Each structure stands twice: as structure tokens, then as C-alpha cells.
Structure 1
């Protein structure tokens, strides 16, 4: 199912998500696959496939680092307003730390 708010039709994923069925279904959903290639026991990846995986890893790492920073931060509260504010503050602090690190 395609999200109407998402203007980019790219799918970025780990090699565990690669399958013949998924690769066949993506063009029908107007999506472009950026899913890592898998090696097999008797067929290692060639140079072209390894380079493609490296390029995709650079993009995926930038996105995944944001989620790693917040992975173990549990917000427990009653209601929705207070946890929303706490998550917003955590995001703000993360962005400020990132800005300081990039400004070095």
C-alpha cells in the first residue's frame, strides 16, 4: 500500500527483506527497490553487487542512526499529550546534539 504523502517511491531495506515475490511486486506498486543483495553459500556477491550494497548502506545508516538514538527510551504516561511532549523534547535534544556535532 502506497502512502499518498510519500513523494519518493523508493524502498530501502536489509537483505533479509529481499525475495522474488517482493521484487516482482514493487514495480506494480510504483516503487523502486533499494533492498540489499544477498549472497548464497556457493555464490558470493560480485564487485558490482557489493558496491551497490555499500552505496545503499551509506543512505540507510543516516536514517537508522536517528532511530538507534531513541531505541531504548521508554515513555510511560497516561494520556497522549504528555508522551507527545516528551518525545518532541527528545527529538529536539537529538537535533541540537547533531547540530553541535556537525558544526565542529
Structure 2
């Protein structure tokens, strides 16, 4: 004989993390289909390897570098005379720029 109890999992969200708050808002908008949404999200996340790296430090850093390089190439962003201009072919930024970018990226890291 099987049990009449439904399988349940309790999720706890960190209200200090903007991602958790946003996910909670989405779930609250769909009170009758929360489980389906969670199941779909988990299955998508685990079946798509590129999704797992989507918000990694390396992915964010490469995206920011790409945007900065494009902005420099288009003239939207100008480099001061104190630092050498990065190559505009998208290959790399100067070491000082990368160090400063690393400091800026620290603001986006979550504390675990």
C-alpha cells in the first residue's frame, strides 16, 4: 500500500539576494503552477550546460570586456591618457583595466 502523502519540498529564499526576491515574485504570480515552473526550470538548467555557466564570474567578465571594447571602438567610451588604450579587436584589455574591472565585479558577487 502506498502513502496518501504528497511529495513536498520546502524552499527558503534569501530576501537579501535580488535573484531570490525576483524568483519569489515570479512564483507568487503563479500560485497554481509553481511546481510546474520549478520543475521546468530545474530540468532546463540541468540539461543545458551553457546555462550553468551563464552567470559565472568568467562569463560576466568576458561580457563586460566585450561591451567596453565595443564602446571604445564606437567612441562612446574614451580612455584617459593615463592608461594605454586596449586593443579594439576584442582580444584583451590592459592589466590595470582588468584589475580595476575585477574590483568592480566584486560588487556583483553574492556572499555565501
Normalised to the residue count of structure 1, the TM-score between the two structures is 0.28
- Asked which structure has the greater CA Rg, the reply is 2
Return the structure number with greater relative CO, CA threshold 8 A, min gap 6: 1
Select the structure that is richer in strand: 1
Normalised to the residue count of structure 2, the TM-score between the two structures is 0.27
